[in-house]
């Protein structure tokens, strides 16, 4: 199925945002996300990845332009109704509160007054934390904690996940574990995911990538179209080349000037 025939679930139309009155932080940003897409948001530190995710989740409000979620302007949603459609996880989940895993996960039910499609235990099992349901989240590893929060979003049942650097500060093993889990959820539940990223190698594995610089989009599309030497040079200010192995798998190679 071509992406044109899928629904647009999130649309940023010419969005601008400024933290400071004189200096725009996000400029003329337009982006459409379709049903079931898995999109990587790639850019250097301070390029505006987090701000774009916060705009899309309604945490900060745009100074210009419009953001639509499904068929309605984001700002017209009631908090609880929005929470059933869209879920945001911040980068730092280092929360020193001794909630148990099952207490944390069950918070995903807060927007609802009715019983959910899946139970708390099912959500915990899906992320592979079944044996740790009664453990305090303060005693989990970084990867496990991330998975516990993802279980919470599953219970929340939102069709769109906005994840701010979910792989940051994780060992490669946990990074792959989280990616595998997210892919699986996307396939099984047709969830759309936008995640901010740092690692270009990982971005190469995505269906679609958005490359950001100074709050504006440099490129949006398939990784092989967007992650070219020129655009990467512009985004990260270093010489990076994408090469292909004999197997066809792409990888990045840094220029000699680093």
Partner 1 sequence: MKTFSVIVIVSGIFIASLFFFPETINPFALNAMERDILLYIRLPRVIVAILMGAALGASGAVLQGVLKNPLADPYILGISSGASLTAALGILTGIYIFGQFSIPLTAFAGACIASLMVGAFAWKSGRFLPDRLLLAGVGLSFLFYAVLMLLISISTHEGIRKAVLWLFGDLSIADWSMIPYGLIFITAGLFICLSRARALNALMLGDELAHSLGFSVHRERLLLFISIALMTSASVSLGGTVGFIGLLVPHIVRFLIGADNKILIPLSAVCGGAFLCLADLIGRSVMSPMEIPSGIVTAIIGSPYFLYLLRKKDVLGS
- In a 3-state reduction of DSSP, which class is residue 3? helix
In the bound state with partner 1, the residue whose beta carbon lies nearer, of 88 and 206, is 88
In the bound state with partner 1, the residue whose beta carbon lies nearer, of 95 and 172, is 95
The least distance separating partner 1 from the CB of residue 162, rounded to whole angstroms, comes to 8
- Over its C-alpha atoms, the chain yields an Rg (Å, rounded) of 19
Beta pairing, strands 160-163 & 86-89: parallel
User: Is 118 an interacting residue with respect to partner 1 (CB under 8 A)?
Assistant: no
* Binds partner 1 by CB under 8 A, chosen from 72, 75, 76, 98: 98
User: Is 86 an interacting residue with respect to partner 1 (CB under 8 A)?
Assistant: yes
Tokens of 140: 């989990």
CA-CA distance, 186 to 208, in Å (whole number)?
14
User: Is 89 an interacting residue with respect to partner 1 (CB under 8 A)?
Assistant: yes
User: Residue 17 forms beta bridges with which residues?
Assistant: 26
The least distance separating partner 1 from the CB of residue 99, rounded to whole angstroms, comes to 5
CA-CA distance, 225 to 239, in Å (whole number)?
17
Q: Interface mask (CB under 8 A) for partner 1, residues 37-76, using x and -?
A: -----------------x--xxx-----------------
The least distance separating partner 1 from the CB of residue 80, rounded to whole angstroms, comes to 4
User: Is 79 an interacting residue with respect to partner 1 (CB under 8 A)?
Assistant: yes
- In a 3-state reduction of DSSP, which class is residue 125? helix
H-helix or E-strand spanning residue 178:
helix 172-189
The least distance separating partner 1 from the CB of residue 121, rounded to whole angstroms, comes to 17
In the bound state with partner 1, the residue whose beta carbon lies nearer, of 129 and 232, is 129
In the bound state with partner 1, the residue whose beta carbon lies nearer, of 160 and 217, is 160
DSSP 7: P
CA-CA distance, 241 to 94, in Å (whole number)?
35
CA-CA distance, 197 to 175, in Å (whole number)?
11
List of residues contacting partner 1 (CB under 8 A): 54, 57-59, 79-84, 86-90, 92, 95-100, 103-104, 107-108, 110-111, 136, 138, 156
């Amino acid at each position: 199925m071509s992406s044109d025939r899928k629904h647009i679930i999130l649309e940023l139309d010419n969005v601008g945002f400024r933290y400071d009155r004189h200096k725009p932080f996000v400029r003329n940003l337009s982006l459409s996300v379709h049903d079931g897409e898995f999109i990587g948001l790639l850019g250097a530190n301070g390029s505006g990845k987090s701000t774009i995710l916060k705009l899309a989740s309604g945490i900060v409000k745009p100074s210009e332009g419009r953001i639509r979620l499904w068929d309605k302007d984001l700002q017209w949603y009631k908090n609880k109704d929005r929470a059933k459609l869209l879920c945001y996880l911040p980068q730092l989940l280092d929360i020193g509160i001794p909630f148990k895993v099952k207490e944390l996960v069950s918070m995903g039910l807060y927007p609802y007054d009715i019983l959910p499609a899946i139970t708390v235990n099912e959500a915990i099992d899906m992320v592979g934390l079944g044996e740790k349901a009664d453990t305090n989240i303060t005693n989990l590893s970084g990867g496990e904690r991330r998975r516990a929060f993802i279980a919470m979003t599953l219970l929340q049942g939102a069709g769109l996940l906005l994840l701010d650097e979910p792989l940051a500060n994780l060992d490669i093993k946990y990074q792959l574990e989280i990616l595998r889990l997210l892919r699986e959820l996307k396939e099984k539940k047709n969830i759309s995911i936008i995640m901010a990223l740092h690692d270009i190698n990982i971005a190469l594995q995505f269906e679609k990538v958005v490359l950001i610089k100074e709050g504006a989009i440099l490129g949006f599309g398939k990784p092989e179209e967007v992650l070219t030497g020129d655009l990467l040079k512009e985004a990260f200010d270093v010489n990076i080349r994408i090469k292909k192995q004999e197997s066809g798998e792409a990888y990045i190679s840094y220029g000699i000037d680093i």
